[in-house]
Structure 1
């Protein structure tokens, strides 16, 4: 867990606090119809969801396990469905100020194109196969396990184990970013082992008076054998030793901060992206850490740059996202999660480079014609192709040629995160392409405060139609959309619904 915090999994770790709480309160509400359990379960799920989407999916596996097992074991199935529905509705309404419809539609977990597209991608093969395997699990659990509580823990463990093994062994993702659920597997394992140890202790207790000492002895031995792990954790968290990894990232951020100018972008690997995001104001592609990115091609570009061996396609993506710098971790880098599978692919493609504070870390400079803004031919937008995938080099090359065709330079100035000034010369039938994700909240105005048309280009970036050829000064402003206010409206509706349910719910102390 400490290492997770060191390498940028803080929000995920926070979400893990609420996963067992959500499971406990949900289970209690299924057993006893009490208003307090319902509210506590809904709030725990809400906090889990807004902490981290990965935590939400991981928590969903626990909650799903509880629902499936209780539905299978308990007689009053309609009541289980009804209570689960109440929890689901309240949880979403409580989280609606964050999980707005637009937020969910954009890219809930990234590495795809939104929640709906991800579910469609998994159907029918992924869902059908998972359903078949789950069915076999349930049959075996129901046959050999009599307690619904033990059955829930067994099913939760098997489900999490299956998701992780399917990814690492066969490359199949039954849940988004399946490689990140290892801590939840540990959590399920510990819970299952605790129940097993408790059962063993009770069995032994009937036969010997020393049973009360078995569990404490087990805990002491476990702590003894994990002492080295704690020593390693201290090594990771200490900044006193100049050789430790945390200090490498800190010193690299200091180096990059002095090298990269304001409004210039850089691409970094996983743990560097977290630390530079936390410690500096440097712009980089993974500022959102691949979670809830609104740009449809950002995760594909990141995958190509890091994981694929095609250097040419990676080069095109660097130019498309106006990434002036890229820090590549070669083999031998002191950074633990260096990410790059083919670091040599940039040799010969990116010629300007320099060694950094680590000889195995190379900083490349990408030759950009334009950085944040530049003129583009509006008549050619229709001829541009939407890439079939992240390695569609024909479409990518055509797009890069389009944005690089006119070398006229624009001045791009940031007033704040919601207001930008763009100034430059455009020719006839030319627009201004901004290397920022298109969003309906953006508004563009000319010098006379007249609103200008904004369109989305084939790769999801902003293109502004200026009022006239020649010198143009445009103000780009972001304003909250109806979607934002809808989220808060739904949140208020959730509060009112909770009050209403307090009045109408008839609490039942009897177990379901």
Structure 2
């Protein structure tokens, strides 16, 4: 039998029992605090921030929730586009699932999901700090700073003015006023990814590596700026490692990142990545300027961070402090020097000031805790009591700001809503051109397709890069008439113009009265005028003779004379009519009467992956100079053409890669695998020599 002394030695000490409850208590406290701040989001429908981009995010979730299994083609924006090009998909699919399962509006589901991700952000930061070696007290204090203070207001006067002072919530304001739901959600996942990488590095097992890859994939499927910030955070995490672990950290991070992209490949296939990268230059002039005038600056900054990491590694500072210094320094350098029109080292680097707050709060928490432990124990309760007052004041500031920023809108007074409802009732799925906040919010209320729409980083029709600005600002009568020609060429049935009395937040149209001379008004309400552009019943399909399509040219600029000829042809009464009908989201039908050599122009954006069939036989499909479909039916007399969107050519490959990666990741995450090869992978034998870790267990037969 064990002696009484032996039993007492095995019992947990008072300190051990206390520490056991510290982490759950801290987690509950942080979650409760942030839920109390943002609780109004869980009751919000359409909030009164129509200048926000969140209308487009709600629109994505709304469409998905109404078209499960049939949203691979996105007909609502940019004359149609692949769904993968709209936006990275994770948040919107989660919102659509919540809306469908909860039988609630997409707006209500969206605000519930982003409210949850906002509240969990400090919690994720706390767990990351603990895993990087912070004491629970320092980690909790860092997360508390992150919950109740915005360091960017202290460092950036423009931010302080925007939020109303030093003591208000920038992260909450960006979420609610500017609609940065995907970005804030990615920020919540970022610390989880760093935590998972640290676990993988410490354990040297492929199970932990698989979890790290999964966490990185989740960030990359949520938001592009968040993914960019994660890449910088991973670089800082590697540089912060001790010298004897730095090489292993590179291997772990590289392996996890490669597997992460394989997991995310179907959501962000190579073709979509190419589109996004191709649009970086036109969208981000400041970044283009930095590449042209100072291409070596960003590498120099990264080298400086690596050198700083090496020097910090020779100190006694804990890992989480070294990481905080590097991350804060790098992000601050990028965000504080960013000027979107003139200079920025990374695209939209100014948006990373939110991630900068993470590093700043980690530093503040570590400094605050270091000072706290210097205080005699008997004085600490007094100090904590004195701190309750400023904490309460800050909590009140954040709650009051949330009350101001999270208010349901009176939709009946918003032109964005009343215009959308009229279009929904009268356009019956025909294309319209809208601008400003009306464009942001149109598809949150209706499935009426737009000529332009959201998210320019994913659009592939070069003409749409400059045409909206021309239509909005072409104030001369000659240019307004030319704008009408362009709208007709792009299959626009109606034009919505925001007048002075409109509630549109941007009112992009200069001299809106000029349209009265060239367009017949259909409806006026809440300051908006809806004009007819094409005759009632106009089709998106048109019969052409060979050579009448807008020709392809080497430059992206389309010749206006070519456009005028095309409009004259498709508007001619001498041509047989061609009807166009959507059968479902990814299939359409054209019916017309043709001569043998006739072509059919369809005013839907061309992408590789559109296939046309006549009587079961596949027919050639190619783009014209505008970027629309042109079909060579090769039939005579009455002809029915079936169009199918089958996805870009790389999509099947991306699907196979993602599925294989998902299965592989799941197998790696299991404890017991009866396949010797996977067991040898699980022991990290394939990188054991390079990583320098301890030998793994022998394979089980």
Scaled by the length of structure 2, the TM-score of the pair is 0.60
CA distance in 1 between counterparts of 2:507 and 2:465 reads: 14
Report the counterpart of residue 569 of structure 2 in structure 1. Answer: 405
Alignment pair present for 1:461 and 2:640 = no
Tell me how far apart the structure 1 counterparts of residues 182 and 292 of structure 2 sit (CA, whole Å): 32
Name the residue aligned to 1:504: 683
- Structure 2 gaps of 5+ residues are 1-171, 669-677, 695-701
Moved more, 132-141 or 18-27: 132-141
Q: Paired residue for 1:49?
A: 220
Deviations 1:127-146 (A, max 9, x none): 43322344456666776895
Of 18, 33, 50, the residue aligned with 2:204 is 33
**Structure-1 residue corresponding to 2:441:** 275
**Relative to structure 1, is the Cα distance of residues 87 and 298 closer, same or farther in structure 2, using a 3 angstrom cutoff?**
farther
Q: Give the deviation of 1:119 after TM superposition.
A: 10
For residue 259 of structure 2, the aligned residue among 90, 109, 134 is 90
Q: CA deviation at 1:331?
A: 5.9
In the alignment, structure 1 residue 474 sits paired with structure 2 residue 474: no
Deviations 1:217-268 (A, max 9, x none): 4432222233431121232xx24x5688xx6544442233224x22311233
Residue in 2 aligned with 1:321? Answer: 490
**Counterpart contact for 1:316–1:397, Cα < 8 Å:** no
Q: Are the aligned partners of 1:25 and 1:37 in contact in 2 as well (CA < 8 Å)?
A: yes
CA contact (8 A) 1:307 1:339 kept: no
Match of 1:395 in 2: 559
Q: CA deviation at 1:97?
A: 2.3
C-alpha separation in 2, matches of 1:489 and 1:474 = 31
Partner residue of 1:334? 503
SS in 2 for 1:334: coil
Out of 234, 257, 273, the residue aligned to residue 104 of structure 1 is 273
Task: Give the Å deviation of 1:439.
Answer: 2.3
- Partners of 1:297 and 1:159 lie apart in 2 by 37
1:267-291 per-position Cα deviation (integer Å, ceiling 9, x unaligned): 3346444533233221123556335
- Residue number in structure 2 paired with 1:62: 233
Asked whether the equivalents of residues 33 and 509 of structure 1 are also in contact (C-alpha less than 8 Å), the reply is no
In our comparison, the structure showing a higher alpha carbon Rg is: 2
The whole-number CA distance in structure 2 between the counterparts of 1:451 and 1:406 is 25
CA gap of 1:194–1:269, structure 2 versus 1, over 3 A, is farther
Counterpart position of 2:153: none
Q: Aligned residue for 1:264?
A: 430
Displacement of 1:185 in angstroms is: 2.1
Deviation, structure 1 residue 196: 1.2
2:308 aligned with 1:129: no
Does the C-alpha gap of structure 1 residues 379 and 321 become closer, same or farther in structure 2, counting only changes over 3 Å? closer
Q: Which runs of 5+ in 1 are unaligned?
A: none
Question: SS of the counterpart of 2:661?
Answer: helix
- Which secondary structure state, in structure 2, belongs to the residue aligned with residue 221 of structure 1? helix
The alignment partner of 2:622 has SS state of strand
C-alpha change, 1:188 and 1:121, in structure 2 (3 Å) is: closer
Go from structure 1 to structure 2 and tell me whether the alpha carbon gap of 1:318 and 1:168 turns closer, same or farther (over 3 Å shift). Answer: farther
Cα distance between partner residues in 1 of 2:235 and 2:468: 32
SS in 2 for 1:255: helix
Instruction: Provide Cα deviations, 1:338-363, integer angstroms capped at 9, x if missing partner.
Output: 372x533782585334674322x343
In 1, distance between residues paired with 2:323 and 2:373?
25
CA contact (8 A) 2:592 2:639 kept: yes
Instruction: Tell me if 1:223 matches 2:395.
Output: yes
- For 1:193, the equivalent position in structure 2 comes to 361
When structure 1 is superposed on structure 2, of 465-474 and 41-50 the one drifting more is 465-474
> Equivalents in 1 of 2:334, 2:565: separation in Å?
42
* 1:80 alignment partner in structure 2: 249
User: Given that residues 377 and 402 in structure 1 are in contact (C-alpha distance below 8 angstroms), is that contact kept between their aligned partners in structure 2?
Assistant: no
2:191 paired with 1:20: yes
